[in-house]
Amino acid sequence: MVRMEPRGLTSQEETENDDGDFRLRRRHPLTFSMPPLFLLLLLSSIHASAADDICIVGSGISGSSTAFFLTNYTAPISAQLRVFERRDRVGGRLATVSVAGDTFEAGGSVIHPRNLHVRRFADLLGLAARDDGEGDDDWLGIWDGARFVFSTLPPPPPGSSWLRRRLHALLNSLLLLRRYGLSLFRMDSFAQEMLKKFLLYYNDFESRPVFDNVEDMLKWSGLYGLTQRTLEEELIDAGLNSQTISELVTVITRINYGQSVSISGLAGAVSLAGSESGLWAIKGGNWQLAAGLLKTANATLHLQEGIDSISDAGDYYVLKSNKGHEYNCTVTVVATPLDEVNITFTPPVSIPPRKMQHTHATFVRGLLNPKFFGLSSVSDIPELIGTMELPDIPFSSISVLKKRNQHDMTYKVFSRAKLDDSLLAQIFSTREETIRIDWPAYPHYHAPEDFAPIILDGKHLYYVNSFESAASAMETGAVAAENVARLIISRLPLGLRASPLLSSEKRCRWSS
Ligand SMILES: Cc1cc2nc3c(=O)[nH]c(=O)nc-3n(C[C@H](O)[C@H](O)[C@H](O)COP(=O)(O)OP(=O)(O)OC[C@H]3O[C@@H](n4cnc5c(N)ncnc54)[C@H](O)[C@@H]3O)c2cc1C
Ligand SMILES: *[C@@H]1O[C@H](CO)[C@@H](O)[C@H](O)[C@H]1NC(C)=O
Ligand SMILES: *[C@@H]1O[C@H](CO)[C@@H](O)[C@H](O)[C@H]1NC(C)=O
Ligand SMILES: *[C@@H]1O[C@H](CO)[C@@H](O)[C@H](O)[C@H]1NC(C)=O
Ligand SMILES: *[C@@H]1O[C@H](CO)[C@@H](O)[C@H](O)[C@H]1NC(C)=O
C-alpha cells in the first residue's frame, strides 16, 4: 500500500512535494448508506486512464460534500481529488465574522434538526453545537415601517423557573393564535409536508434512484410542483389568511431569502421550516463542516486558485487557473453558482438565466435607537425585528446577536441594499463598530422555476448548484452533492466493460 500523509487543508504549495500519485484509498466499505458491493469491486478493479483527476471547483458545503461522498461511496479508485478555491479559505457562504472578540455566523447560520446529512457530518467530524442558541430569538416584533403591528412577549429574565418559562411560551402561543388563528397550523403542516417528502432523499440506494437532472429529482420526491407556483399561491390554496401571509410568512421569507412571498413554493416551504424550533449551529462556525469534509476526503486543496476556464479536450477537461496552471481532469464538478462567476467554457454550456439575490449583512456593535421605532427605551425593542414587504422599509430584519449590557450590544441587520452611514445613524443611537458584507446570497426565486442541467455537457462536466434553484441551504447543497457523487460513480469513464451488474445502479428517467 502506498503511504499517504493526511492531506486535508494544505495549499498547493505545500502539496507539491508529494509524488502526485495520490490515490483515494479506503480499507473498508462503509456504512454511510452502503454502496452495493459490486460497485466497490468494480471500481477497485478499474485501471487509471492518463488523466484521472476528479476536479471540483468551489470549497463550500456543496464542493466539500461532493468530495466527501465520492470517497465515502467508493473503494480505492485511482484518481486524485482536487478542490479549487479562489479565496484564501474554505467554506464559501459559510463564514464567520468577528465583532469585539466574539464570533458570529456571517452567512449560512442555522441548521434544521432534520437536516440529516449536516447532522451526520457534524457527528463524524466531532463538531459540537454552539451553546448560546443563535436563532433562538423568541421575542419577535413585526415592523411595518411605522409601528410594530405584532410582538411576542419579552423573554423572562435569565434564570427564571421552568414554570415561568413554560408560561411565557404558552402566552406567546396564545398571542400568535389570537392574531393568526388556524393559519398557524396550516402554515406548519405546509412545511411539515415538504419536510416529509424531502426525507425521501435519505432513503437507501435500493429505494432511491440516481438523478441526472433536477426536474426528475424533484418529481421523484413529489416536490417539483412546489417549484412551479409561488409561495403565496400555495399558501392561499392551503387556506392561510392574507394577514398571516403578509405578516408572519413575509417576515420569514425576508429573513431567510431576503425576498417576498412571490418566491417559489419550495424555497418558501424551506424558509418556513427554517423558522421552526430546535435550530442549531456549529460551535466555532459552520465553515468547519467544509474544512472537515475536505480533510476526511483527503482532497488536495488549491486555495487562492480560481478556475478561469474549463475546456473539453476529448477524454478529459483542461482547467486553467488564475495562477497560470493547467490541470487535466477526467471529471469536473462545478460547485458554485455560475451566475456571478466568470468561468469560460469551451465549448460553451447553456444554462437558463438566473439572478442571485444579494443580501447585505451589516454587523453593528452599538445600540439601536428606540426613537426610530417610536419607542422610549431600548429595552422595549424586540430582539428579532422582522419586516413586512413595504417599499419604505430599508432593511429585512435586525436581530440581537449578543447583549453585553444594556448599552452595549451586537446586532445583525439584513438588507437588500447597502445601508449607508446616514441611514445607520438614524437606526442606531451609538455605533462603535460596523462590518458590512455583501453576499451574492441565494438565487432570486420566482415561479415557475427552471433548472440548469446537472450534467452540463452530456459528458463529465457536472453542476451541483443547479439544485439551488429549488432551495438554497447547507442541507440542499449536501443532498445535491450526494446525488452528483453517485451519478459520477455510476458514469465513471473508466473503460468499463459492459457489466450486467452496473445496470442496477440505473439513472432515473422520470416520465410524467
Ligand atoms: C446571509 C446568508 C444567510 C444564510 N442562511 C442560511 C441558514 O441559516 N441555513 C442554511 O442552511 N443556509 C443558509 N444560507 C445558504 C447557504 O449558506 C448556502 O446555500 C450554502 O452555503 C451554499 O454552499 P455552496 O457550496 O453551494 O456554495 P458556496 O458556499 O458559495 O461555495 C462556492 C465556492 O466556490 C468558490 N468559487 C467560485 N468561483 C470559483 C472559481 N472560478 N474557482 C475557484 N473557486 C471558485 C467560492 O469562492 C466559494 O467558496 C444563507 C446564505 C447567506 C448568504
Ligand atoms: C486519508 O489519508 C489517511 C492518511 O494516509 C488514511 O488513513 C485514510 O484512510 C485516508 N482516507 C480516505 C478517505 O482515503
Ligand atoms: C463514511 O461515512 C460514514 C458515516 O458518516 C462514516 O462512519 C465513515 O467513517 C465514512 N468513511 C470515510 C472514509 O469517510
Ligand atoms: C494534459 O494532457 C496532455 C495530453 O496528454 C499533455 O500533453 C499535457 O502535458 C497534460 N497536462 C498536464 C498538466 O498534465
Ligand atoms: C470575465 O472574463 C472576461 C474574459 O477573461 C473579461 O473580459 C471580463 O471582464 C470578465 N468579467 C468579469 C465580470 O469579471
Cell of 138: 423568541
Order of strands across the sheet with 356-368? 148-151, 140-143, 384-387, 397-405, 408-415, 356-368, 428-443
**Residue 176 Cα, ligand 5 centroid: separation in angstroms?**
51
Q: Which atom of ligand 2 is nearest to the CA of 297?
A: 13
pLDDT at residue 90, as a whole number: 98
In sequence order, the 6+-apart residues with CB closer than 8 A to the CB of 387 are 142, 143, 144, 145, 250, 251, 254, 393, 395, 396, 397
Q: Which residue shows C-alpha cell 442558541?
A: 133
Q: Which residue shows C-alpha cell 447547507?
A: 474
For residue 314, the ligand closest to its alpha carbon is 4
What is the spatial distance between Cα 33 and Cα 72, in angstroms, rounded to a whole number?
9
pLDDT at residue 159, as a whole number: 87
For residue 341, the ligand closest to its alpha carbon is 1
**Residue 316 Cα, ligand 1 centroid: separation in angstroms?**
27
pLDDT at residue 2, as a whole number: 26
pLDDT at residue 29, as a whole number: 30
Q: Confirm or reject: Cβ of 296 under 6 Å from ligand 3.
A: yes
pLDDT at residue 79, as a whole number: 80
Q: Which residue shows C-alpha cell 483515494?
A: 24
Contact 137, 384 (CB under 8 A): yes
Name the pairing type of β-strands 326-334 and 461-463: parallel
Q: Which residue shows C-alpha cell 443563535?
A: 134
User: Which SS3 state, helix, strand or coil, does residue 344 take?
Assistant: strand
Beta bridge partners of 201: none
Q: Confirm or reject: Cβ of 23 under 6 Å from ligand 2.
A: no
Q: Confirm or reject: Cβ of 65 under 6 Å from ligand 3.
A: no
Q: Which of 492, 485, 380, 472 is nearest to 93 (CA)?
A: 472
Please state the φ and ψ torsions of residue 201, each to the nearest 5 degrees. -70, -5
Contact 257, 214 (CB under 8 A): no
Q: Which residue shows C-alpha cell 443547479?
A: 466
Q: Confirm or reject: Cβ of 3 under 6 Å from ligand 2.
A: no
What is the spatial distance between Cα 507 and Cα 487, in angstroms, rounded to a whole number?
8
pLDDT at residue 157, as a whole number: 87
* Closest Cα to atom 2 of ligand 2: 6
- The secondary structure of residue 406, as a DSSP letter, is T
pLDDT at residue 131, as a whole number: 82
Q: Confirm or reject: Cβ of 33 under 6 Å from ligand 4.
A: no
Q: How many CB atoms lie within 10 A of CB 162?
A: 7
**Residue 290 Cα, ligand 2 centroid: separation in angstroms?**
17
Q: Which string of DSSP letters, residue by residue, matches 182-250?
A: THHHHHHHHHHHHHHHHGGGGS-GGGS-EESSHHHHHHHHT-GGGGSSBHHHHHHHTT--HHHIIIIIH
pLDDT at residue 512, as a whole number: 29
* Closest Cα to atom 13 of ligand 3: 72
pLDDT at residue 404, as a whole number: 92
Q: Confirm or reject: Cβ of 237 under 6 Å from ligand 4.
A: no
Q: Which of 196, 143, 41, 207 is nearest to 398 (CA)?
A: 143
Q: Which of 98, 60, 64 is nearest to 81 (CA)?
A: 64
Q: Which of 24, 72, 116, 202 to mutate to test the pocket of ligand 3 (most atoms within 8 A of CB)?
A: 72
pLDDT at residue 133, as a whole number: 54
Q: Which of 301, 299, 297, 281 is nearest to 89 (CA)?
A: 301
Q: Confirm or reject: Cβ of 26 under 6 Å from ligand 2.
A: yes
CATH superfamily of 12-92+284-355+449-508: FAD/NAD(P)-binding domain (3.50.50.60)
Cell of 266: 419550495
Q: Confirm or reject: Cβ of 328 under 6 Å from ligand 4.
A: yes
Helices then strands (H, E): number in the chain? 14, 19
Contact 211, 507 (CB under 8 A): yes
What is the spatial distance between Cα 208 and Cα 202, in angstroms, rounded to a whole number?
8
Q: Which residue shows C-alpha cell 447585505?
A: 360
**Residue 23 Cα, ligand 2 centroid: separation in angstroms?**
9
**Residue 63 Cα, ligand 1 centroid: separation in angstroms?**
10
pLDDT at residue 76, as a whole number: 64
Cell of 260: 417576498
Break the chain into its structural domains and give their ranges: 12-92+284-355+449-508, 137-177+356-443
pLDDT tens track, the chain, 512 positions: 222 222 222 233 222 223 322 233 332 333 334 444 444 444 443 444 456 799 999 999 999 999 999 999 987 666 899 999 999 999 999 999 999 999 999 999 999 999 999 999 999 999 999 987 544 558 999 999 999 999 999 998 888 899 999 999 999 999 999 999 999 999 999 999 999 999 999 999 999 999 999 999 999 999 999 999 999 999 999 999 999 999 999 999 999 999 999 999 999 999 999 888 899 999 999 999 999 999 999 999 999 999 999 999 999 999 999 999 999 999 999 999 999 999 999 999 999 999 999 999 999 999 999 999 999 999 999 999 999 999 999 999 999 999 999 899 999 999 999 999 999 999 999 999 999 999 999 999 999 999 999 999 999 999 999 999 999 999 999 999 999 999 999 998 553 322 323 333 444 333 32
Q: Which residue shows C-alpha cell 456543496?
A: 62
Q: How many CB atoms lie within 10 A of CB 41?
A: 12
User: Which SS3 state, helix, strand or coil, does residue 136 take?
Assistant: coil
* Closest Cα to atom 26 of ligand 1: 62
- The secondary structure of residue 86, as a DSSP letter, is S
What is the spatial distance between Cα 152 and Cα 140, in angstroms, rounded to a whole number?
5
What is the spatial distance between Cα 116 and Cα 96, in angstroms, rounded to a whole number?
23
Name the pairing type of β-strands 326-334 and 53-57: parallel
